[in-house]
């Protein structure tokens, strides 16, 4: 990662401008030119650092996730196992990530142009989890059910304000433990 102060400041300005514009206009209706103007940088700076507005979103989410989790890998999930406290901590941290930019996520979830982003993220999670299990249709269905249930719970929390973070964490922890106890793991 580049630690040049000018690059760090430019990236922060771009990401803040992006969040602000998404909140005002929605994801679909903002352009790279508008982001550049709001961030007071050249469009080429955005293309050099990100490429497209989808990449800016990806960077914001990844930075937020890294703050609490580091890199999410199969080894990370292996270290958690079926430990209730560790699973609960994962969910607490995920809710912190969501709560930091809940308005951004709310807008993105209701914006047709960005709705596929979250499905792509859940597919990445499913692929990581599938590396931990014995390959079978039964296990894949269980992991798919769990991954989609987690995503659905977060979508409801963000868009419908379904319960508090604490209520959601308890229920998700219970459901995760219950589901994972019925999955066959590879070594």
pLDDT tens, residue by residue, 150-159: 888 988 999 8
Q: What pLDDT is stored for residue 66 in this prediction?
A: 76
Compute the chain's Rg from CA coordinates.
18
**Could you tell me if 48 and 75 lie in one domain?**
no
**Could you tell me if 81 and 117 lie in one domain?**
yes
Domain assignment present for residue 100? The answer is yes
Mean predicted lDDT score pLDDT of the chain: 86
Domain assignment present for residue 63? The answer is no
The CATH number covering residue 19 comes to 1.10.10.60
Helical packing angle, 53-69 and 5-25, nearest 10°:
110
Domain assignment present for residue 118? The answer is yes
Domain assignment present for residue 151? The answer is yes
Q: What pLDDT is stored for residue 169 in this prediction?
A: 96
Per the CB < 8 A criterion, the answer to whether 59 and 17 are in contact is no
Tens digits of per-residue pLDDT, 159-183? 899 999 999 999 999 998 988 888 7
Domain assignment present for residue 143? The answer is yes
**Could you tell me if 32 and 76 lie in one domain?**
no
Q: What pLDDT is stored for residue 133 in this prediction?
A: 80
**Could you tell me if 92 and 46 lie in one domain?**
no
**Could you tell me if 82 and 159 lie in one domain?**
yes
**Could you tell me if 186 and 125 lie in one domain?**
yes
Residue 123 predicted with pLDDT over 60: yes
Helix, strand, coil shares of the chain, percent, nearest 5, are 80, 0, 20
Dig out the tokens for 147 from the structure. Answer: 């991954």
Q: What pLDDT is stored for residue 71 in this prediction?
A: 66
Distance separating alpha carbons of residues 173 and 83, to the nearest angstrom: 10
Domain assignment present for residue 65? The answer is no
**Could you tell me if 108 and 172 lie in one domain?**
yes
Domain assignment present for residue 140? The answer is yes
**Could you tell me if 50 and 77 lie in one domain?**
no
- What is the tally of structural domains in the chain? 2
Matching residue, tokens 């990581």 = 128
Tens digits of per-residue pLDDT, 49-88? 998 998 998 888 888 777 776 667 778 777 888 889 999 9
Residue 1 predicted with pLDDT over 60: no
Is residue 151 exposed (0-12), middle (13-18) or buried (19+ Cβ within 10 Å)? middle
High-pLDDT (> 70) share of the chain, %? 93
Tens digits of per-residue pLDDT, 85-96? 999 998 998 899
Distance separating alpha carbons of residues 17 and 21, to the nearest angstrom: 6
Q: What pLDDT is stored for residue 114 in this prediction?
A: 64
DSSP state string for 112-147: TTTHHHHHHHHHHHHHHHHTTB---HHHHHHHHHHH
**Could you tell me if 105 and 31 lie in one domain?**
no
**Could you tell me if 125 and 173 lie in one domain?**
yes
Q: What pLDDT is stored for residue 112 in this prediction?
A: 64
Residue 10: which domain range? Answer: 1-56
**Could you tell me if 41 and 82 lie in one domain?**
no
Domain assignment present for residue 111? The answer is yes
**Could you tell me if 22 and 111 lie in one domain?**
no
């Amino acid at each position: 990662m580049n630690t040049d102060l000018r690059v760090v400041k430019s990236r922060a300005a771009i990401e803040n401008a992006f969040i602000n514009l998404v909140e005002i206009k929605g994801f679909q209706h903002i352009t790279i030119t508008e982001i550049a103007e709001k961030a007071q940088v050249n469009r080429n700076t955005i293309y050099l650092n990100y490429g497209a507005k989808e990449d800016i979103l990806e960077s914001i989410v990844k930075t937020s996730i890294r703050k609490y989790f580091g890199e999410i890998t199969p080894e990370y999930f292996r270290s958690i196992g079926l430990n209730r406290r560790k699973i609960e901590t994962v969910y607490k941290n995920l809710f912190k990530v969501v709560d930091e930019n809940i308005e951004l996520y709310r807008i993105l979830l209701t914006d047709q142009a960005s709705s596929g982003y979250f499905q792509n993220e859940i597919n990445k999670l499913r692929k990581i989890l599938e590396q931990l299990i014995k390959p079978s249709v039964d296990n894949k269905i269980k992991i798919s059910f769990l991954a989609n249930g987690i995503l659905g719970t977060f979508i409801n929390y963000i868009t419908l304000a379904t319960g508090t973070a604490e209520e959601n964490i308890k229920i998700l922890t219970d459901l995760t433990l219950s589901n994972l106890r019925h999955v066959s793991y590879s070594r």
